[in-house]
Amino acid sequence: MKTILECKNLSKRYGRTQALSGINLSLKSGRIIGLLGPNGSGKTTLIKLINGLLTPTEGEILIDGTAPGVRSKSIVSYLPERTYLDESMRIAEAIDYFGDFYRDFDRNKALKMLKKVNLDPSLRIKTLSKGNKEKVQLILVMSRRAKLYCLDEPIAGVDPAARDYILSTIINNYEPDATILLSTHLISDVENILDEVVFIQNGHIRMQEEVETIRDKEGKSVDDLFREVFKC
């Protein structure tokens, strides 16, 4: 399989804080990859670098062979932790917005998914509950046929029913040749849908491994291994 993301000696400093130090990482196409680490380990920084919201202090980052820019942004679908839609819009307007800017956006898919969760496209985003706003964003992001999906903490702070909805939405809309990079600290909830995990701590990559290999070799779950690696 070909490489979708490559980080070479990637570092990011904020003032005196070193958020990422000399990361070398290569991710292949067609996989669901967990970016796992405690809070403040550099997960979000890495995802922001991939999306061009930050620029590296040192090193480089290549998405499908090019540095973050117009081309990479057209093939990366990003779900941040924030509500990033203009809340005065109606859901249908947000769909138009995505449809206009992203050539890989599948409007029918989005409408179908909205219908499934009983959200009327004529509703204003402002009037939705927090959980429904998150659903709308997830639907928009997963309705793109992107090459790389970056989902930053998609299941943090949601109830079990919403978590199941989010995970099944990810599985159902995942294209076999795309890669999903999913950052979380809630490992037991997601580990069954992962192909591969990347453990990150204090801005360093601690481990990159196939999940089945971990279970096979260590005879323990990824969650257990994580607790061991990051024991205080």
Partner 1 sequence: MLGKLFKHEWIAISKLLVVIHGFILIFAILSRIFFEVSGGVDMAISGEVNDIVEIIAALIIFAIVLFICCAAMFTSVYIAYRFYKNVFTDQGYLTNTLPVTPTQIIVSKGLTALLWTVIDLAVLAVALLIMFANGEFMSVLLPALGRVLYYMGGLPAFCWILLVMILLAPFLMIIHMYFCVAVGSLIPNHKILGAIGVYIASYIIIQIISTIVLVITGLGFTAGSMDTTGMTSAEASYYVGSILTPMFLVSVICEIIAILVFFFVTKYIMTKKLNLE
Partner 2 sequence: MPWNLDSSRPIYTQLVERIQLDILAGKYQPGARLPSVRDLASEAGVNPNTMQKALAELERENLVHSARTSGRFITEDTAMIEKMREELATAQIREFFEKMQQMGFSSQKTIVLIEKMMKEGKA
Residues that bind partner 2 (CB under 8 A): 30-32, 164, 167-168, 171-172, 174, 176, 188, 191-195, 211-212, 215-216, 219-224
Judged by CB, which is closer to partner 1: 28, or 73?
73
Nearer to partner 1, 101 or 117 (CB): 101
CA of 84: how far to CAs of 15, 31, 34, in Å?
26, 26, 23
Which entry of partner 2, partner 1, none binds 159, CB below 5 to 8 A by partner kind? none
Least gap, CB of 57 to partner 2 (angstroms) = 34
User: Residue 161 binds which one of partner 2, partner 1, none, with CB within 5 to 8 A depending on kind?
Assistant: none
Q: How far is the CB of 128 from partner 1 (least distance, A)?
A: 15
Q: Using N-to-C axis directions, what is the helix angle for 107-116 and 160-173, rounded to 10°?
A: 150
CB 68 within 8 A of CB 228: no
Tell me whether residue 41 or residue 44 sits nearer to partner 1 (CB atom): 44
Spatial contact of 35 and 222, defined as CB atoms under 8 Å apart: no
- Tell me how far apart the alpha carbons of residues 113 and 169 are, in angstroms, rounded to a whole number: 9
Could you give the residue ranges of the DSSP H alpha helices within 29-186?
43-50, 70-75, 91-101, 107-116, 130-142, 160-173
What does 76 interact with, of partner 1, partner 2, none (CB < 5 to 8 A by kind)?
Answer: partner 1
Among residues 62, 45, 63, the alpha carbon closest in space to that of 54 is found at 45
Query: Which residues lie near partner 1 (CB under 8 A)?
Result: 48, 51-55, 70-71, 73-74, 76, 78, 80, 82-86, 88-89, 93, 97, 100-102
Of the candidates 228, 174, 170, which has an alpha carbon nearest to the alpha carbon of residue 199? 228
Closer by beta carbon to partner 1, 72 or else 169: 72
CB of 94 to partner 2, least distance (A): 25
Coil vs helix vs strand at 58: strand
By three-state DSSP, how is residue 221 classified? coil
Q: Return the one option of partner 1, partner 2, none that residue 223 interacts with (CB less than 5 to 8 A, by type).
A: partner 2
CB-nearer residue toward partner 2: 92 or 167: 167
Choose between 31 and 135: whose C-beta lies nearer to partner 2: 31
